[in-house]
């Protein structure tokens, strides 16, 4: 019986996943994991991880039952070999996760990030560190290694749920170089201290000299212990917490001296009418912490924090009420000589202290008191005595309030980088731009917490959760490499690409790219594959920016 060609034809929805697979190939994902993980399983651990990465970035939720995800997929196209989806059972995947844990998640991810640094020429001069909490539902009473799931300070504002932490070290703004899971109640200050011991080794593993990078962290880094451990060997940049007296001192000094250096606009995105770009100015000075002098950059932003300005408004209102309460007794008194009234008025004018934001303006009023009874027709009323009262007018001290609002728009960067180092002179603008790149790691945490990526942790073994954390980091690494490649291409070619709602953009996101390939269908007949419809011009533009041949 002759076989109809239609009987062997299959149509699969691949969307943008071949692009993810191609970037996984560029960092040698499968080969690296298979080399580092010893196993005799029929399905290689590298293939399992690739399948889970594709599952993670596909937006399918929740992240489990890999078999269901691959059931309707062309596994030969996406995984590089034709494997029945039935082989990716939960039991098989669980065994693979156990083998990967034995191989060492940090070693595996470290090698993959090293592949990315070399293959994509990643800029490694600034290493950004931060942590985030991942909440879990359930008891999770097991306390087996490598970390503890427990209650702690919740960055998701869910103290009722147990959690674990993910710490991350990123370079080139948001490319993850190192990451691992930690105890749910671990302190950022302690984690910073521990990483300072090993950060030079992490960078050396990637062929980076410790003098060629700057460790960037948020204000949790600034403790006496961490500053001492950093010493002169580790160059760092952080934000001085307001809890340090030196922070308030240098901000007051900067405002009083008014010797600012303009830095202009640093934002890379274009401003809009509703969201104008912040304009910065800086004051370069020093502070003494732990008996050591450090460089401090007082930075003022024109985009004042609304919460800070609201706090000042509340302070002004409270200050006015306090002053009114303090002068009420004097205002209620009546004086029988002008000298006493003038003395009271002078006392009131001296009442405001250094922290008050109002000037008290006083007026002495003369009140005539007449004798009782009506005067005769041709006589004037006789004055019996004179009394005096004091009136008060509270006037805002504009210069003091202006300084107060100016101080509210300031923060302090702390560093041991000199302004005249041998190889590189770090200007305040350079330091601010480097610190603002810390926002990249915050966006990475947003990726890890996105319910489209992962909405719940279904694994019940801490070791497997650690491997899942590594898979999420790998997914993030590929996602950021995709985004970085597109933006670099547009910068080099001085061109734009179609973004949202047919608008042109210079800064496309990986998610933006993914939406352009939602309609891609692949027709397979025997060993031949065809696109159900030709690629659109916008899709070809994205593939060009991604440096990917359409044949993938």
Number of C-beta neighbours around residue 136 at 10 A: 19
Q: Say how far apart CA 143 and CA 97 lie, in whole Å.
A: 18
| pLDDT at residue number 6 | 63
Q: Say how far apart CA 22 and CA 552 lie, in whole Å.
A: 7
Q: What is the block-wise mean pLDDT of the chain (552 residues), using blocks of 10 residues?
A: 64 91 95 93 92 86 74 88 89 91 91 91 84 75 68 80 82 85 81 75 68 83 88 87 92 91 78 74 92 92 77 86 81 82 82 78 84 74 80 83 84 86 73 87 76 58 84 91 94 92 88 91 85 92 94 86
| pLDDT at residue number 535 | 92
Using N-to-C axis directions, what is the helix angle for 338-349 and 306-332, rounded to 10°? 160
Cα torsion through 181, 184, 186, 192, rounded to 10: 30
**Among candidate residues 161, 12, 32, 136, the one with its CA nearest the CA of residue 78:** 12
| pLDDT at residue number 30 | 95
Using N-to-C axis directions, what is the helix angle for 90-103 and 29-36, rounded to 10°? 70
| pLDDT at residue number 404 | 82
Residue 210, token pair as written in the block: 């410790």
Sign of CA dihedral 62, 65, 71, 77: positive
| pLDDT at residue number 454 | 54
Residue 52, token pair as written in the block: 């889970």
| pLDDT at residue number 271 | 62
Sign of CA dihedral 153, 157, 158, 160: positive
């Amino acid at each position: 019986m002759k076989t109809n060609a239609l009987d062997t034809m299959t149509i699969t929805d691949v969307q943008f996943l071949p692009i993810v697979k191609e970037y996984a190939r560029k960092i040698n994902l499968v080969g690296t994991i298979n080399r580092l993980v010893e196993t005799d399983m029929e399905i290689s651990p590298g293939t399992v991880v690739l399948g889970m990465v594709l599952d993670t970035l596909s937006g399918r939720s929740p992240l489990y039952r890999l078999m269901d995800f691959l059931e309707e997929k062309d596994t030969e196209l996406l995984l590089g070999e034709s494997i029945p989806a039935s082989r990716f059972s939960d039991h098989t995947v669980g065994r693979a996760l156990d083998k990967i844990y034995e191989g060492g998640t940090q070693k595996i991810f470290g090698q993959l990030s090293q592949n990315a640094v070399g293959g994509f020429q990643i800029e490694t001069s600034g290493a950004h560190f931060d942590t985030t909490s991942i909440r879990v539902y359930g008891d999770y009473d097991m306390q087996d290694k490598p970390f503890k799931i427990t209650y702690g300070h919740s960055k998701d504002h869910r103290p009722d749920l147990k959690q674990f932490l993910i710490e991350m070290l990123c370079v080139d703004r948001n490319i993850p170089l190192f990451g691992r899971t930690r105890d749910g109640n671990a302190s950022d200050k302690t984690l910073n201290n521990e990483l300072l011991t090993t950060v030079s080794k992490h960078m050396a593993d990637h062929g980076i000299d410790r003098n060629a990078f700057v460790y960037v962290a948020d204000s949790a880094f600034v403790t006496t212990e961490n500053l001492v451990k950093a010493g002169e060997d580790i160059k760092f940049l952080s934000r001085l917490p307001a809890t340090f007296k030196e922070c308030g001192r240098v901000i007051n000094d900067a405002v009083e001296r008014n010797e600012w250096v303009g830095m202009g606009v640093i934002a890379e995105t274009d401003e809009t009418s509703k969201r104008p770009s912040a304009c910065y100015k800086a004051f370069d000075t020093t502070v003494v912490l732990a008996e050591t002098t450090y460089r401090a950059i007082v930075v003022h932003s024109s985009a004042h924090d609304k919460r800070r300005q609201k706090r000042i408004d509340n302070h002004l209102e409270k200050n006015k009420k306090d002053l009114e309460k303090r002068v009420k007794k004097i205002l209620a008194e009546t004086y029988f000589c002008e000298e006493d009234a003038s003395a009271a008025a002078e006392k009131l004018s001296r009442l405001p202290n250094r922290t008050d934001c109002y000037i008290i303006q006083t007026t002495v009023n003369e009140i005539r008191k007449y004798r009782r009874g009506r005067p005769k027709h041709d006589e004037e009323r006789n004055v019996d005595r004179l009394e005096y009262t004091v009136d008060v007018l509270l006037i805002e001290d504009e210069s003091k309030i202006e300084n107060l609002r100016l101080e509210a728009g300031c923060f302090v960067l702390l560093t041991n980088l000199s302004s005249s180092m041998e190889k590189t002179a770090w200007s305040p603008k350079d330091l601010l731009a480097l610190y603002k790149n810390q926002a990249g790691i915050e966006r990475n945490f947003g990726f890890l917490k996105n319910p489209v990526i992962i909405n719940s942790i279904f694994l019940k073994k801490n070791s497997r959760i650690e491997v899942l954390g590594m898979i999420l980091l790998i997914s993030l690494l590929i996602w950021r490499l995709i985004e970085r490649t597109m933006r670099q291409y547009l910068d080099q070619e001085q061109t734009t690409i179609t973004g949202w709602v047919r608008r042109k953009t210079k800064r496309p996101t990986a998610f933006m790219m993914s939406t352009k390939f939602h309609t891609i269908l692949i027709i397979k007949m025997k060993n031949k594959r065809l696109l159900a419809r030709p690629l659109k011009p916008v899709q070809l533009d994205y593939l060009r920016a991604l440096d990917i041949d359409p044949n993938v």
